């Protein structure tokens, strides 16, 4: 995703001379091409995320379109007050990039874990919270965020995420139904899209056909597409690389409570406890049961339960 971010950033800067990039002393190697082409629109404030956001707010007030970039745990946690007041209160068009959200930096310890970035950013009124699942979504969504009249947050991964080919359109604020199915709806956000699609392929090979939906935009949430995705199911399974509170799971639980209270709901992902040690992201997914085999096993277990009556369908699934 970082390569897609770099390439899209270059395109945006080339087409709009208001785009200015600020970083908290990282991105070297990734951003060399931007620094070379647009040296007057590159600012490194050092290891000072609060100042990073305050500087961006001032630039936005002067008509710039700032994009700020740092490790997700520092970008959202250390600078939250500045994001809330300097950017959010003034409804400024600042695009905040959290690199390596969730447990992308699992091996670096608790200081680098960002299991609460969605929750924090969603607390800021008017903030668009976006977590692309692959490089294609980064390329399509970043320009939309930069064009917004208000603030936005995008969580991106590192390198090597596969591109997921699908006819489902990509647009800010819109969910995507990647596969039509029945009985169980698998829902992903961010990098879990790859694990969910791998699980769906395993399931298909064994005779199961769940619906697969992906929500790159958490706020504003697209309840209409979600309702369409669950119209033929009695169980919803959300897979996320985030803590229990404030992520996509919380959003879906709230929506189901108000609109589809009889659907079964299962969340797969990290808990709220600190992850101690230095597991790799893959090891962590296995330990916490949100890797592809664990997702497939959860779907199979739900599939084989007795069906329930789903509200609005009028028949047993």
Are 123 and 191 found together in one domain? no
First to last CA, the chain: 39
Is 313 among the domain residues? Answer: no
pLDDT tens per residue across span 172-183: 999 999 999 999
The secondary structure element, H or E, covering residue 163 is: none
Residue 161 domain-assigned (yes or no)? no
Answer yes or no: is 54 within a domain: yes
Structure tokens at 217: 């935009």
- Count structural domains, the chain: 2
Question: CA nearest 298: which of 241, 233, 237, 248?
Answer: 237
Report the CATH number at residue 59: 3.40.50.970
**Would you say residue 315 lies in a domain?**
no
Distance, in Å, from the CA atom of 34 to the CA atom of 27, rounded to the nearest integer, reads 11
Q: How far apart are CA 113 and CA 288, in angstroms?
A: 15
Same domain for 150 and 194? Answer: no
Q: What is the pLDDT of residues 237-271, one digit of tens each?
A: 999 999 999 999 999 999 999 998 889 999 999 99
Whether residues 207 and 67 fall in one domain: no
Please state, rounded to an integer, the average pLDDT across all residues of the chain.
Answer: 93
- The region of weakest confidence among 57-71, 133-147, 159-173, 298-312 is 298-312
More confident residue, 187 or 307: 187
Classified as helix, coil or strand, 82 is: helix
* Same domain flag for 53 and 197: no
CATH number at residue 256: 3.40.50.920
Please indicate, yes or no, if residue 139 is contained in any of the structural domains.
yes
* Cβ atoms of 3 and 160 closer than 8 Å: no
> Residue 231 belongs to what domain range?
176-303
**What is the DSSP pairing of strand 65-71 with strand 19-23?**
parallel
């Amino acid at each position: 995703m970082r390569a897609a971010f770099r390439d899209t950033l270059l395109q945006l800067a080339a087409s709009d001379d208001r785009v200015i990039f600020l970083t908290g002393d990282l991105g070297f190697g990734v951003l060399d091409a931007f620094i070379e082409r647009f040296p007057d629109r590159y600012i490194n404030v050092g290891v000072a995320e609060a100042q990073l956001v305050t500087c961006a707010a001032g630039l936005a007030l002067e008509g710039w379109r700032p994009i700020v970039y740092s490790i997700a745990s520092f970008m959202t946690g250390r600078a939250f007050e500045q994001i809330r007041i300097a950017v959010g209160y003034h409804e400024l068009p600042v695009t905040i990039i959290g690199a390596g959200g969730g447990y992308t930096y699992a091996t670096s310890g608790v200081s680098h874990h960002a299991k609460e970035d969605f929750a924090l950013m969603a607390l800021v009124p008017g903030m668009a919270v976006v977590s692309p699942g692959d490089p294609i979504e980064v390329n399509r969504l970043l320009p939309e965020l930069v064009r917004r009249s208000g603030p936005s947050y995008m969580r991106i991964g590192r390198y090597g995420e596969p591109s997921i080919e699908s006819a489902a359109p990509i647009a800010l604020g819109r969910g995507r139904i990647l596969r039509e199915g029945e009985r169980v709806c698998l829902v992903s956000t961010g990098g879990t899209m790859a694990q969910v699609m791998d699980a769906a392929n395993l399931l298909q090979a064994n005779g199961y056909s769940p619906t697969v939906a992906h929500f790159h935009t958490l706020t504003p949430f697209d309840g209409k597409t979600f309702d369409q995705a669950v119209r033929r199911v009695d169980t919803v399974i959300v897979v996320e690389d985030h803590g229990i509170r404030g992520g996509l799971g919380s959003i879906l639980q709230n929506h189901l409570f108000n609109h589809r209270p009889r659907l079964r709901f299962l969340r797969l992902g990290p808990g709220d406890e600190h992850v101690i040690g230095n597991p790799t992201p893959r090891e962590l997914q296995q330990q916490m049961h949100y890797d592809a085999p664990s997702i497939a096993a959860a779907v199979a277990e739900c599939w084989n339960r007795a069906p329930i009556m789903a509200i609005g369908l009028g028949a047993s699934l």
